[in-house]
A and B are shown apart, each in its own frame.
Chain A
Amino acid sequence: MASWIAELQEIVGREDVLTDPERLLAYECDGLSIHKHPPAAVVFPESAEEVVGIVKVLWRHRVPFLARGAGTGLSGGAVAVEGGVILELARMNHILEIDYANRLAVVEPGVINLMLTRAVADAGYFYAPDPSSQMACTLGGNVAENAGGPHCLKYGMTVHHVLGLDVVLPNGEVVTLGGHGTDAVGYDLLGLFVGSEGTFGIVTKITVRLTRQPQAVKTLLADFLSVEDTSRAVSAIIAAGILPSALEMMDRATIEAVEASVYAAGLPTDAAAVLLIELDGLAASVEHEAERIVELCRTNGARQVIVARDEAERARLWAGRKGAFGALGRISPDLMVQDAVIPRSTLPEVLPEVYRIAARYGLRMANVFHAGDGNLHPNICFDGRDSDEVRRVKEACREIMELCVRVGGTLTGEHGIGLDKIAYMPLVFTDDDLEAMARVRAVFDPEGLCNPGKVLPVRRCRAF
């Protein structure tokens, strides 16, 4: 047994260091299960002090490590690609402080996203970023990935809602980033850290902004007979200067899967696609905007636009949307979810092309995505046991990425680069760009121990 294992056991107790290979299996992949790399150990800290202790041991022994929350990420980010140790933060799940007067909450990284919103709902607040996995994913993971979600169209991403972080750097030093409610001075290390995919250090405390619940919410469902019309309606809404709180598209394959699942929402299974549009804010403006949107959908070929009658119907529509990715699992044994962003105005030209690429490779595809900010999520249904199909999936993914970059888009809007998209990084960034990123990484992690093998490609024997 490596000596560092004994040292870890001393910190958290023998039971809370997993080294039995059989018990490490469950930790070999995250929400994107095509990347499988078992860690050397999993350790369960319960306090910031324990995290510091663990990191110091691993730093001293030069053992690579990474933090993991619920493992719902979709880029292979929470996988120990170079072996090493996973710090599972699920037990650090306490809400430490809720301060309505200053509209903030202080939480541990293992707190589940939705639990925070539930904790403040009765007081009239919510935590705005709402990734589709919000019922399971942790806020620590959200910080690492700069998670988005349907409502970030209006409310912004995680980075816009994090006010402060306590971070254990890879050498075990503890720093505070941001002011935990006030403006810090100096470089925006807080903004830089959010979305660094766990490669800059491990978060032990998070201060987030709480948002006041809007006076009015209106949820509309528009159904269309062609994907092109649907895309045009999206562009028309954005160009009209309306900023819905969410503007989501689901195509027919997705609708069928959702309707067959526990999240069936009563979506029309004969539509080519639907838009789920939500407006919130003051009742006076929501009413007005809803009318405009109905009109814009109609002029762009919507067959029908319905308004959710009550909170229950609204909740059902959203449950259907958020369960869509998982529901697609019923189509085939494996599912590859892609994540790319394009300028919104190019949606009508890009989306049909994405379908054509899938068809060319003989793959089944379902699209469910954040249309309002041009964030595509093509889902490819396949069987991982069929090696030829796996090859075609990979090639199609690359073509889709190239297409999106060509029209001025980028590789990922919310899932992160992780392990999955490293190879595509040069499509977007030059060597100089990547080298600048590598310099930043080296500032935080000079020894390259913290979640190595993620985000930046390795070339000529050096990490970019």
Chain B
Amino acid sequence: MAVARALAHEAEKLLACIHCGLCLSACPTYLQLGDENDSPRGRLYLMRAVAEGRLPMTSEALARHIDLCLGCRACETVCPSGVRYGRVLEAMRADLARERLTLGQRGARFLLNHVFTSPMRLRWIFAPTRWLRRRPFARRLAEGGLLPARLKLALELLLATSPEADSIFTLPRERRPSPSASARGEGRRVAFFAGCVARELFEQTNRATKEVLMAHGCEVEDPPDQVCCGALHAHAGELETARALARRNVRVFERCAAEALVVNVAGCGAMLKEYGELLAGDPEYAERARAFAARVRDISEYLIEIGLRPGSRPVGLTVTYDAPCHLHHAQRVTTAPLELIRRIPGITFVPLVESEICCGSAGIYNLRHPELADRLLHRKLEHLRRTGADVVLTGNAGCLMHLRRGVRRAGLSIRVMHPIELLALTYE
């Protein structure tokens, strides 16, 4: 029987679960499926069974139910016993990855280990997609019935990244908010974590982030040699690759004399903040990684911290907010985005029911389990529809794509944006 190596390190964390069940109603997959095997408590129980030798690593049930987990970590937010579910899950996935892989998983693994590790290769991979998403035939293709379902879905998601998608909000490229007089003298220096996919597909969000930072008197540094944060790798159990990426980022950002390392993608932010734990076993890097992690801030968090100064141009929109799991649950950044949004001039804010429940995007989950992801999306869209909002804001690349695609397919007239993009619009 295979030894659960990574899991063994987390055995104490498994024992922290006392089976109280408070996590059940927080778990999107349990809410959809009603099967305890698809709940945090059930998955932990399976993992505990592996750790105790009652269940083999080769178990079909184990593979299936661990695979179906979104990794949204909503369970951590409600767990009174403090179970570090995300950590345990990653360890389990690392062990399973060594055990056996499906063809799809092999493909994903190749991409993760050989493409996402290199900014250059990513650029080559994403160049044609950037071209593609501007082509009218791509949209026709996505709407037609020719493509196989999985490919069609991928294309729809790609199209959902297109800046034209919400063109009325697109920032004119030449407009650069100039630092306000009071801000100029502050001399805050921040480093910007651009994100691998975001750099390729969310130029607009990144630009807005930098501009808003500048409007707050920050000097923004964007090291060109930074790499992918490694979140996708860690979630897929590729812990070694994730560590290699982490070491590189630690080295790159050590060179920046910035007071904060600002990130606008919730999934990346969550990973970066956990570098300390990821590299805890590496004597050379443990301390450096902790120092790195301590500097990481989500953009909303950072702006509230230094004193948010929205621009003066009112946007005149009814707005709601969908909390990205990796911001709300993993980073526990819950109030800053709401405060930021509420202070955008000309906003009518309406709360979104179940805003803390996963939309189904969950990294590349929507590509791997489209059916379940769509059920979660449908639930989300129903709640969105009831808000009557013009715009839904969410601070994570994957959620933006997933929601945009959903909103479009459902024919809703709701725009999907990153909060920072809306904030950027308020500066004259």
Contact = CB atoms under 8 A, between A and B. Distances in A.
Nearest to B37: A26
A326 B18 contact: yes
Interface residues on A, range: 35 or more
Contact of A44 (B15, B34, B80): B34
A63 to B, nearest CB: 21
A110 B60 CA distance: 28
Interface in B40-93: 41-42, 45-46, 49, 54-55, 59-62, 65, 76-82
A416 B55 CA distance: 32
Contacts of A83: none
Contacts of A23: 37, 61, 65
A31 interface: yes
Interface stretch (B21-29, B114-122, B399-407): B21-29
Contact of B18 (A33, A70, A133): A33
B313 interface: no
A333 B15 contact: yes
Given A27-B36, A29-B19, A135-B25, A330 B55 contact: no
A90 B22 contact: no
B253 to A, nearest CB: 29
A137 B22 CA distance: 8
Contacts of B23: 136
Contacts of B62: 22
Contacts of B81: 261, 326-330
A386 interface: no
A329 B78 CA distance: 13
Contacts of B82: 260-262, 327, 329-330
Contacts of B26: 135-136
Interface residues of B, number: 37
Interface in A390-446: none
B80 A25 contact: no
A72 B20 contact: yes
A72 B41 CA distance: 11
A327 B35 CA distance: 25
Contact of B21 (A115, A136, A334): A136
Nearest to B77: A262
Contact of A135 (B19, B35, B37, B78): B78
A329 B55 contact: no
B22 A22 contact: no
A400 B188 CA distance: 62
Contacts of B303: none
A18 B42 CA distance: 14
A26 B26 CA distance: 17
Nearest to B80: A326
Interface in A59-104: 70-72, 88, 90-91, 93
A237 to B, nearest CB: 28
B17 interface: yes
Nearest to A114: B25
A110 B55 contact: no
Contacts of A327: 80-82
A20 B18 contact: no
Contacts of B46: 22, 25-26
Contacts of B34: 44, 88, 90-91, 93, 110
A20 B20 contact: no
Nearest to A113: B25
A91 B29 CA distance: 12
**Residue from A20, A32, A136 having most chain B Cβ neighbours under 10 A:** A136
B304 interface: no
Contacts of B101: none
B59 to A, nearest CB: 5
Contact of B78 (A18, A91, A262): A262
A328 B30 CA distance: 25
Contacts of A258: 80
B18 A335 contact: yes
Contact of B59 (A22, A90, A330): A22
A124 B260 CA distance: 45
B244 interface: no
B20 A31 contact: yes
B24 A70 contact: yes
**Residue from B17, B18, B25 having most chain A Cβ neighbours under 10 A:** B18
Given A22-B61, A326-B81, A72 B22 contact: yes
Given A135-B78, A262-B77, 10 more contacts: A22-B59, A25-B55, A30-B21, A33-B18, A33-B19, A88-B34, A135-B22, A323-B80, A326-B20, A327-B82
Which 3 interchain pairs have the tightest Cβ spacing?
A326-B80, A329-B81, A90-B34
26 contacts: A22-B55, A22-B59, A23-B65, A25-B55, A26-B36, A26-B42, A30-B21, A32-B19, A33-B18, A44-B35, A72-B20, A88-B34, A110-B34, A258-B80, A261-B81, A261-B82, A262-B79, A262-B80, A323-B22, A325-B80, A326-B20, A326-B80, A326-B81, A328-B81, A330-B82, A335-B18
Interface of A: 18, 20, 22-23, 25-27, 29-33, 42, 44, 70-72, 88, 90-91, 93, 110, 112, 114-115, 133, 135-137, 258, 260-263, 323-330, 333-335
